[in-house]
Structure 1
Amino acid sequence: MRTLYRKEVKRFLRVPGQTILSPLITTALYFVVFGWSLGGRLREVEGVPYIRFLVPGLVMLGVINNAFLNTSSSLFILKLQGTIVDLLVTPLSYLEILAAFLAAGATRALIVGGMTWATAALFVGPYVPHPIEAFLAGLIVALGFAAAGLIVALWSEKFEQVNFIPTFVITPLAFLGGVFYSAAMLPPGFRVVLHLNPIYYMIESMRFALIGHNVERPWAGFAVILGIAGILVIWALWLLRRGYKLRA
């Protein structure tokens, strides 16, 4: 398992410009454009400077995207090249294979998330009121979306299908999940819809941890993201054990 984990980590470290630097630059651009352009007008959101309010959402956005992309691209390429068979004949159990992929995806996600926070800290300061909760929120979400990446890779038969979920599902949910605004800024009807978005709870959990934002029930949010991650991990393991499209 350790060997597979190292192989997966080395895979994304071979192209750091694409796997780490590129998403970091993209997130930094969101921070600069939205933070500086809207920050001059909004000033504060619920007593928090707008540019600081943005940071947790952008950190979580980096975690979500990179955890998903790492596992989905890696497993799909193994399927496409037919080398997935080499992995299946190793003495590793399906649980160990899953754990190695999830750990590698979480590693990349946390590196990008950590570097995003470090970049933002240059502008808003490094103080984090709940560092342990911030790490746990990032880790739980990273593991959940790494599992989601595996599920999509198993289901997909073409690259277009792999790209469909992040483009048409994850990105819209993230942008509508409160990255750039607070629930209090929305009309009551839209607020109800926002609370049905699972990514909203991920962003709010990170917002509570990184900036001490006054979340009504922070541990309820953590329970939601833990439940979602648990379901995705169990689902991914179930598909692996079934051999679902592993040789497609």
Structure 2
Amino acid sequence: MEIKGNHLGLGYENRVVLQDFDITVRQGEIVTFVGPNGSGKSTVLKTLTRLLPCRKGIVTCNGVPLTEIASRDFARQVGILPQQHQVPPDFTVRDLVSFGRVPYQNWHGGNSAEDDRVVDWAMKATGVWKLREKTLSACSGGEAQRVWIATVLAQQPDILFLDEPTTFLDISYQLEVMQLVKKLNRENGLGIVMVLHDLGQALEVSDRIVVIKDGKKYAEGPPEDVITPRMMKEVYQVDCQVVRLPGRKRPVLVYGEIP
């Protein structure tokens, strides 16, 4: 599966955020958008998932314009987890994850045996099976985020879009979510498209990184080609070194000058 747009103009009613923007995301890879606040990262995700119309150009899924794909069919291919989400406080984990099966159900029907099987699988795959009878309000922040990911995973999408999935989480929960993202990609072949603020996390888990600055694509490519001291200085105005450590597959970021 492939979602693609060329020479796109992205933005809102009275404001263009990005111009002449090219992007392709595919099933099976982890793509992360990074850049300063307000640069347009979330705008890209909203446009690629039909939450925001293009101001210029066309976004396609497997060659078909998104506007020509039925909502139910699109929801079976693409899962979306926005920054903000709410649920009634008495909902259990199983109740919420079951909502991921709506694209496969008739309006008058309940869960089928197949729905129940997929819901169980999604909870087990995200490590929330033991929480299934717990209310979401009683879950920790990290647990709740994994439950939301399970809900979108129950849609059985080919590509999962996550808008700042680690924001407001303690570091231990951030690491849990990043490990889960890698697991879903490596074991299930799921495409992951994310917006992240933590560049260390982006460097660690991504197959490809897209840097956005001042309404344009600054760079795109493998993490180690994109996250460089020059990029950090020009985009974030910080001094940074990219350092390799023994036993680590990917380098780490060290801010400031190294003695």
TM-score bin, normalised by smaller chain: under 0.3
* Structure with higher helix content: 1
Q: Work out which structure has the larger RCO, using CA pairs closer than 8 Å and 6 or more positions apart in sequence.
A: 1
Normalising to structure 1: TM-score of the pair? 0.25
Tell me which protein shows more strand as a share of its residues: 2
